[in-house]
Each structure stands twice: as C-alpha cells, then as structure tokens.
Chains A and B, each alone.
Chain A
C-alpha cells in the first residue's frame, strides 16, 4: 500500500513498523509532527511530550536500557539541550535500539540559528543516517535501530526542514515484533564512573573501527553511474536537487554521514576527472574527504554555507564551476513589495502585554515562542532572544551589571518556562536579583501549533493529568511577590506591572489569557470603527493587529483613519481600550462571522 507522507509522518510510520515501544520529544519546528503522528496513529507506542529535550532523551535512554526500541525527536537546537545525556550515552551504548532525530532548519525558517548537526554525530562518535525523501525517512528509522543494536550505539537520524515538511509517496509495510531482554544491572556498562567510563571510551573507538568497515559495504552509500567525467558527492535533500538539475551525472549518494566510507569515496574520486561535493550548510563531507587526502575535491566555493540550497542555487553553482553552459533564466523580475513578516494573531493576548511593556519603556529580555514576535515593529518591545529559557538569566546578568533603575523584565511563555525557566527564577531568588519575570501563560505550546505541556492538564496521548500550578511553583522557588494579570485588560495590567517592577527583589507576573487559536479559534463579536469619530491618531495601528487597516478616508485631509476587518477581528477589545476618542465599538448590528 502506498500513501503520501511528509518526512515527519514517514518517521512516525517507520517507528511503528520497526516495533518501537517508546517515543519522547519536546515540540520544535521542524520536528514536531513526528510525535504528533505517533500519538495520533500508532497507539502501540508509548508517546510523551517531555518538559524539554534533555528529559526526552533521558526517557529514551531509559526505554532502551529497559529493553524497548526507543525514538526521541527534537529540532537541531534541541540537541544542544540534550547534548549532556547524548555524549555519555554514546559511551554506554544501548540495550534495545535507540534512534534520535535531529531536525535541522537550514534557512532558519523557524529557528534562532542554522547549526549543522552532522558535526554533533561526529563529536559524539556515533553514526548518523540522512534521508533524502519520505520513503527513506521511513526506511532509515528501521535501519538506524538495526545499526544501533548491532553496534551497541545510539544512532542519529538527521532530517532537515525540506525533508521533514515535504510530502512524497511512501510504500507501507506491516510492523515487526522485536523482543529484547529487560534491563540487566551491568554496572560496568551503565554506571559511568571514571574507571568504567575509561573502558567504555575504548569500546567507542573499537566500535568506530567496526562501523568504518560496515559503511564501506552499506547500500545506503550508493553510486549511480552514467559514465560521466564529472562525479558529484551529495546526500540529504541536496541529492534530490542534484538529480533535478543533472539527472544523468555520476552521483555518490551518502546515506550514512558518519563515519564516511572513505575507501569507496576514494575509488569514486579516482574514477572521475572532476568531483564536486554538494551539501547544504557547512563543508562537513568536504572537510573530511579533503582531510583524507582527496584534495582535488571541490564544493563550498561554488555553493555557499548559508541558507537552504535549491535546484536554482545548484544550477548557479554548477555554472560557476564551468559545468553548466546556460545560467538558469526567469521570466519575470521579482516585484519590489512591502515585507510581510509574521505577526501576533488578531486577538492574541501577547499583544496586550507588549503594548504595555512598550508604553512603560522597559528593557525586555525575551525568549523562544510566539511572543518573540513582540520584537517586531510596531510593537518593538522585546530586546533579546537567545535560546529556550535565556530571558531570565539574561535579565539577571544585565541587572547585576547595570542595576535595575529603569526596570528589567524577562518575558517567556508557559511551555518555555517549564522547559528551561524554572532554574532561572531559582537563580534570581538565590542571588537576590531585582528583576521581574513575566510568564506569558497562554496555556499551550503555541508557536509549534498547539501542544500540551505539564501545565495544561493533558498528556500527548490525550489522558488527563496533574497540571502544574505556576503560582504555587514560583512561590515554592522562593518568590515572594507573585501576581496574575489578564494582559487584555490594559489599564489594570499596566498598573500591576508598574508596581512589580518598582518592588525590590525578584517578582513574577503570570498572565492568564489563553491562546486565541487553541483549542479552537476564538471568535467573539467583531468591533468596528465609527469613522466620524476616528481622529486618525494611529494609536490602534501601533498595536500591530492584522485586523486593523488604514481606511481610504483621511482625517484632517492627510492621516488615514482606521478600519477593522470583521473576518479577522476576534473581539479582544484591546484597540477599543486604547482608542482615545472611543471610536472603536462593538459592530452594529452584531453579526456573527464563522
């Protein structure tokens, strides 16, 4: 049977077919749908959202130690969070197979950096597999688990946004049964005290030598021969682009990216007059291949290290290398248009919060989530964003250096706070930092499309569970001043924030308004502008709501008045609260727009 699946859906299917017993993850674009699909379609697999990637990874290790094939999924920067268990699990090895997915995001469609995680596998001395399409995404989950068991090692499956989020036709198979012995108390293998770890490090190197032999003969590293003088070494999504542009050129397709089959590559290089490496982001293959003495091989000088590749970029690179006569042409020039950056949704409670923070001119350290969009004009009220949970530590450091006379506020979401913010608040209490932390609690992991977390009261598998109480939690950490606000109540919330910022010592404010999209799009009665009352002051434009647009009617002959699109307005009332002439009112007669 065949089905059209995305790379992520295919990984979920692969886990099912390979007899995976446990899957854990923290949501992160472009990896999120892997666990969502496992939970939605394959109830034979225990699946959980963990509070962060480190915990997810450790749960996966436990699953493997316990004798169940385990899969852990995360975005590329999530691997940084999980790097601690990864680096030592690489020493202990597995009981049942263990595969983790690193979903990299070249071009940073939804990320803060575009680090190339192929280096992580090399750093940890563990093998990684890299699929080019959905079929391979599915197949490689099973192959990764087999390699994991045969070589006693965790294995990384390295995806990228274009593989994770592209759909292709996949042949489905029936699931297999796998049985492994339960955990045995082999402390020499699993307790990494120095005496044991030294022995395990030695096994890692022995394992690597065996893997180096294995990859030379693996069909995952294949040569497609057409008898050309040019040979191209490529892997991942770049393989598809190369085939698009040069379908009948000799290609060495790398399926296992670490360790590389250097003997086989060497033969390929010797058999061709010219060899290019085509790979996205860093010159990872190129450096290893050149370091192995094949220094005629070229690559990055034609294809660049930034952003995603594409058929077009590869054609341009091949042209530059003198291998393609015609430069690809386009029929129409790109239009010179306004940009359309992402914005907070109409009705989003974060809009209220940032409207206030901007008004108060506070320094705001930010974090990872929808609310990072508070940095964009016209809100422009968030001034740092590094990684999950960084807002609090950043605020503490800034306060220690600069003092907090002007007010420093850390803003992070509910899911981000549970992921990496708790220890930050603990530090603020412990080291007596005079900052205010605002937990923008919209009761869901919103940016990634609405996932449960430990404060929502539901698990990934849809069971009811205990929900963390943020107020009790931060009080237990030692915060004495804890307040809650509805960020869509403008004056009231502004007053609370003013008071808390002015207080000495760490304080925490928790917002209580849910995400406007979850669990379903909230649509109340829309508002409208009475044009005769509107003075064209543009105050409502400055909250950056997509439902508000300039009218053709001008005030004083030059300032555009405002109008509201009733199909977008959710009736959150924020614009009405800040409109001085009170020109924004409930739409009359009240209409309901579905």
Chain B
C-alpha cells in the first residue's frame, strides 16, 4: 500500500467511527464495562505512543535528548501549562541540548 492508500484508509476509518457514534443505539455503551475499556484503551495507546516516540529509533531503543525534553513537558503539564507551551518547551529543550552536543 502506498502512503496515500494508508492515509485515505485511516482517515475514512476515523470518520466512519465518528458516524457510528450517531448511528448505533446508545444503549450499547451505557454499561460501565465498554466505557471503561474504551477509556483505558485510549490511555494505553497514548502511553505506548509516548514511550515509542521518546525512546524508539533505529532497530530498538535510543537514549537521547528526547528524554529530558519529555520530562520538561511533563513538568509543565503538571503545573497546567497550555498544550502548545509545553510542546514548544520540549522542542526547545531537545534543540538546545543537541546544540550543546548531546545526541
């Protein structure tokens, strides 16, 4: 599959899921179990993505300036900094550390 195929497939899938929310009987998700499972699925996906984005590289784990950068962002999120501020601070941290010679 080309990149375009993947993009269209993923976009249509996400859009179809949104439409599904308006089409299925709400009763289906009124019980706590599916709600909880969906919420925890989201948590585990996001957490897995944090780990992979912060540590992944080459054929395995690469430790570099991303780790202190993510720590800075987490600190800012903890004190309720706006999203864009924390993300920009993470980028600046990594950029400066690399300027100083860190990988």
Same assembly: no
